[in-house]
Chain A
Amino acid sequence: MSEVVKIKSLNKSFGKLHVLRDVTLDVEESDVLVLCGPSGAGKSTLLRCINMLEHYQSGSVEVLGKDVRSSRRNLSFVRKNTGMVFQHFNLFPHKNVVENVTLAPIKVQKIQKGAAIEIAKDVLSQVGLSDKFNAFPNQLSGGQKQRVAIARALAMNPKIMLFDEPTSALDPEMIKEVLDVMVRLAQEGMTMIIVSHEMGFARQVANKVGFLDNGKVIELTETQEFFTNPKSDRTKEFLSKIL
């Protein structure tokens, strides 16, 4: 097993607010890591440091062997090879589904339009939306939007997928359709880092769970261990409240 994401003593603050304190964390290939913790703990910020949507003050983030911050080229390499899914989908509203999905393959990977459309057909069928090819984002339900967003990320053939609270903005009924897609991705061996409050999902799919509080990784263990035998009192307290 090789490490695909290596985070070393990462520190990040927004002004006076210290959001990440000396975070160190490794993710291996085909890991499914769920990050949980109270809001404001720094989970999303940590995730966003991996593809440098957030800048950080000190420490290092290495993805697929490249230091994200060291050069523009490395950053672009990392972004090409990591897909990201956001809480609020962030589809491009002026483009239809197929344009949303093919944009990055065409513009970034310089793939021919015809070939990109074939990729789009493939990834859209993976998320069960082959019939929404020409729809616009505002014609889709929340769950469908999020599945298109996953397809858009998959179209770049990423090595790692980052999920930032992918189901938090969805109706309960739609959560399942998105989680089902994520379960399948995990089964196919995709490396996934997921910020989520879906503890049932974490238990079912994740092989590792990280618990963050106040900018620190309090606990990071195998899923089974995390739920049945948490070490820190803070984790126990958190689990007792949400389970």
Chain B
Amino acid sequence: MLIDYRLIYSSLPVFFNAFLETMKIALVSGILGLMIGTVVATLCTFNSKVLNAFVGFYTGVIRSTPLLIQLYFVHFGLPVLGIMFTSFQSATIAFSLNSGAYISEIVRGGLASIDNGQHEAAKALGLSWYQRMSCIILPQVFSRVLPPLIGQFSYLIKDTSLAAVLVIPELTYASRRIASTTYRPIESFGIPMLMYFALYFALSILSNSIAGRVKRRERVAAN
């Protein structure tokens, strides 16, 4: 038989735990990455030379080096300097710094696309910088950059497979172990593929529902 269903059945618990681990890494890194990206992008709006140089350095380093090297650097390089992390911590730090750099570029583009009149109207009403950003500017930015943002998160989900090199029992690591003990590559790698797809699918449903909510609100108002 091409597919051994008993093997699938017996390995499901392992895969399911690995799936949860992958989801955990992606979720934590995604949220941290979004926060880092948003903060870094707003730093750029101050037009300070020092801040811009810092941001340029950060995004430059992240974008010009492979994620795997960044992961190795955090996990094996930083301990030499006396900074130790568990495998899970190293993975989420590397992944959130990495996606944060790309997200900051996306958010920066979104910020630049907001008409200056929005800033001015909010200022003229007496709103503070923080109120302007949180109530007026960023909500508009996020609804504009939702598609590229979702794209970035889909990369992040797949990139979490690199955590396998730190022996974190996530999907890729689990599939390699099961493949090497059972010699059944179709099942061993097919199941995680489906599970990665399921994560992506959940993400796209989430993004559609966010986009749909805004539209629905406006339609309700029109009637």
A interface residues with partner B (beta carbon < 8 Å) = 51, 53, 76, 79-80, 82-84, 86, 88, 90-94, 96, 103-104, 107-108, 134-136, 138-139, 149, 152-153, 156, 162
Q: Convert B206-223 into 0s and 1s, putting 1 for each residue whose CB lies closer than 8 angstroms to a CB of A.
A: 000000001001101110
Is A79 a contact of B124 with CB atoms below 8 Å?
Answer: yes
For residue B89, CB closer than 8 A to chain A, the reply is no
* B131 lies within 8 A of A82 (CB): no
Partner of A82, one of B124, B140, B222: B124
Interface residues of B in 100-150 (CB under 8 A from A): 115, 117-118, 120-128, 131, 135-136, 139-140, 143
Q: Which of B121, B128, B143, B222 contacts A139 (CB 8 A)?
A: B222
* Residue on A nearest B139 in the bound complex, by CB: A94
Known: A136-B222, A153-B124. 18 other contacts (CB 8 A): A53-B120, A53-B124, A79-B123, A82-B124, A86-B117, A88-B117, A90-B115, A90-B120, A92-B118, A92-B140, A94-B139, A94-B143, A108-B127, A134-B220, A134-B221, A138-B218, A139-B218, A156-B126
Chain B contact residues: helix, strand, loop or mixed: helix
B11 vs chain A, min Cβ distance (A): 47
Say whether A136 contacts B131, CB under 8 Å.
Answer: no
Chain B interface (Cβ < 8 Å from any Cβ of A): 115, 117-118, 120-128, 131, 135-136, 139-140, 143, 214, 217-218, 220-222
B214 partner residues in chain A, CB cutoff 8 A: 94
Residue ID in chain B nearest A133 by CB atoms: B221
Assess the B135–A103 pair: CB atoms within 8 A.
yes
Q: With the chains together, A123 CA to B140 CA distance in Å?
A: 26
Task: Name which residue of chain A comes closest to B142, CB basis.
Answer: A94
Contacts of A53 in B (CB 8 A): 120, 123-124
Contact A90 B118 (CB under 8 A): yes
Q: Which of A86, A92, A153, A162 has the most CB of B within 10 A?
A: A92
Q: In this complex, what residue of B is CB-closest to A109?
A: B126
Chain B residues near A135 (CB-CB < 8 A): 221-222
Which of B117, B127, B221 meets A107, CB within 8 Å?
A: B127
Q: With the chains together, A94 CA to B121 CA distance in Å?
A: 14
Whether A86 touches B120, Cβ cut-off 8 Å, given contacts A76-B126, A104-B127, A108-B126, is: yes
Closest to A77 in B: B126
- Are A108's CB and B221's CB within 8 A? no
- In the assembled complex, 17 residue pairs joining A and B whose CB atoms fall closer than 8 Å, in A order, are A51-B123, A53-B123, A79-B123, A82-B124, A83-B124, A84-B120, A86-B121, A91-B121, A92-B122, A92-B136, A94-B139, A103-B135, A107-B127, A108-B125, A135-B221, A139-B222, A153-B125
Residues of A within 8 A of B135 (CB): 103, 107
Query: Nearest CB to that of B132 among chain A residues?
Result: A107
Are the CB atoms of A93 and B140 closer together than 8 Å? yes
Q: Is the CB of A136 within 8 A of B221?
A: yes
> Which residues of B sit under 8 angstroms from A104, Cβ to Cβ?
125-127
> A94–B139 Cα gap in the complex (Å)?
8
Min Cβ gap B144→A in Å is 10
In the bound assembly, the distance between CA atoms of A30 and B139 in angstroms comes to 38
In the A-B complex, the 5 residue pairs with the smallest Cβ-Cβ separation, listed nearest first, are: A90-B121, A84-B124, A90-B117, A104-B125, A79-B126
Q: Which residues of B contact A152 (CB under 8 A)?
A: 125
Taking each of A79, A88, A107, which has the highest tally of chain B beta carbons within 10 Å of its own beta carbon?
Answer: A107
Q: What is the chain B residue whose CB lies nearest that of A139?
A: B222
Hey, which chain A residues are within 8 Å of B122, CB to CB? 92
Q: Contacts of A96 on B, CB cut-off 8 Å? A: 217, 221
Compute how far the CA of A53 lies from the CA of B127 in the bound complex, rounded to whole angstroms: 13
Alpha-carbon separation in the docked complex, A152 to B136 (Å): 14
